[in-house]
Structure 1
């Protein structure tokens, strides 16, 4: 499949199914949510299909996030990619040839390639191919992603908030947007 031409085009992969557990009022384990997640958005004209799977806003995470006795999905509470004291999991599907501009976020990202391959390039020009089944730990460096294959890929990212990097006392590196 080639680059999507509109927001009605979609990844060839199925949507992500999410099962969230919790507790009843009698402290028994229950399923709070079992649903297939819609693709959240296409990032402008880049064409990536994204599922925001789950998000927390503090660490340690607060497990009882019920409001008036009802569980509230934390993704709906705040749309930040990852909060400095929280975590997030998302999947990203990239079409063949897709390129994500260089960027840096204050998070530690655990990337797991579940389909296909992706190339990471650092700001010093270093490049590595991350293949299906490989894991990359991205620690606040400026980096870009490219799908150099002829097939779509799918990557899951578990992102944990992190503090900005201080090169020397009082000199912090800046976040860099991919936009």
Structure 2
């Protein structure tokens, strides 16, 4: 399945402190044979709090999920059905490639509960098209449709697309601390 490119326009401040467009171009999707039909667009991110004026140049943001003072801006397309790799996919190589493309994303996944993961982030999510089921602990499920928003507060969760069409979500993840309390993650 071919995925569209997403146009990203970035502003910044010139040496005269005036605002200007500093970048305008396409962002290629990250795809994986492990998740056929899915795509991840890493649109922007940084590992530290912003300070302005800013020249608009990309900042360090290697890991897929943000650290404490970082943030990530992404679009994800979730294919319908079970995300099962084709039998001819070389799994070790596919996992290594995913780790190179989205460092730490695979490591956040629970090996004994496919799709379930927990991140130390506050995520603001908008469902743009299609529908997706948010699964939480104990199988608790909530269906989200185009136009719905989710504020995901660092909870253990998975995305399941039980529909017939791909689902596109836009998300901003803001890094957070996780206290060692009686709450489980």
Shared topology, TM-score over 0.5?
Answer: yes
Corresponding residue number in structure 1 for 2:21? 31
What number of residue pairs does the alignment pair up? 153
Asked whether the equivalents of residues 18 and 35 of structure 1 are also in contact (C-alpha less than 8 Å), the reply is yes
Q: Find out whether 1:73 has 2:58 as its counterpart.
A: yes
* Cα distance in 1 for residues equivalent to 2:33 and 2:175: 25
* Cα distance in 1 for residues equivalent to 2:51 and 2:138: 39
- Greater shift after overlay, 155-164 or 95-104? 95-104
Q: Find out whether 1:22 has 2:29 as its counterpart.
A: no
Structure (1 or 2) with the greater strand fraction: 1
In the TM superposition, what is the alpha-carbon distance from 1:151 to its structure 2 partner? Answer: 0.5
Partner SS state of residue 138, structure 2: coil
Structure (1 or 2) with the greater helix fraction: 2
Q: Find out whether 1:137 has 2:151 as its counterpart.
A: yes
Aligned CA RMSD, in angstroms, stands at 1.9
> What are structure 2's unaligned runs of at least 5 residues?
84-113
The 5-angstrom pairing of residues 52-71 of structure 1 reads: 52-59=42-49, 61-64=50-53, 66=55
The 5-angstrom pairing of residues 82-121 of structure 1 reads: 82-99=66-83, 101-121=115-135
Q: Deviations over 1:122-172 (max 9, x none)?
A: 01221000100100111111111111110111101100001114324xxx7
In the TM superposition, what is the alpha-carbon distance from 1:105 to its structure 2 partner? Answer: 0.4
Question: Structure 2 length as normaliser, TM-score?
Answer: 0.75
In the TM superposition, what is the alpha-carbon distance from 1:36 to its structure 2 partner? Answer: 1.5
Corresponding residue number in structure 2 for 1:155? 169
> What are structure 1's unaligned runs of at least 5 residues?
1-8, 175-179
